[in-house]
Structure 1
């Protein structure tokens, strides 16, 4: 299915948010996710089903000042 991740289109085979993150290489537990503009907590990622056209934002903490 086609989804957008951080403003870039991707074709993925995963059906859940958790599986999509793994497929896309986001392995760090220290990331924040938003699906279609709504925050998704880590504990819910494996239960959230994706659909074609979904917009996913993945944010990682940055170090610095």
Structure 2
């Protein structure tokens, strides 16, 4: 199935969850995840089923001063 992660297209098997997509892009914590512009808590990443053409945004915190 096709999903878009941070504006890049990827292929994942059907029945994939957010943690599968995070592994694919080798995401390093800390980060927040939104699917189709809706925040998904970290506690739900392992059970949130992705659908064809879902758009994920993996957002790292920004620090500065």
Settle same-fold status: TM greater than 0.5.
yes
Over residues 25-64 of structure 1, what are the superposed CA-to-partner deviations in whole Å (9 max), with x where a residue is unaligned? Answer: 1132x10000011000000000100111001011001232
Q: CA RMSD in A?
A: 1.5
Q: What is aligned with 2:5?
A: 5
Figure out how many residues of one structure are paired with residues of the other and give that number.
Answer: 64
Q: What is aligned with 1:26?
A: 27
TM-score (norm 2): 0.84
In structure 2, C-alpha distance between the alignment counterparts of 1:57 and 1:47, rounded to whole Å: 17
Structure 1 residues without counterparts, runs of 5 or longer: none
Moved over 3 A (4+): none
Secondary structure at 1:58's aligned position in 2? strand
Secondary structure at 1:3's aligned position in 2? strand
Secondary structure at 1:57's aligned position in 2? strand
Structure 2 residues without counterparts, runs of 5 or longer: none
TM-score (norm 1): 0.84
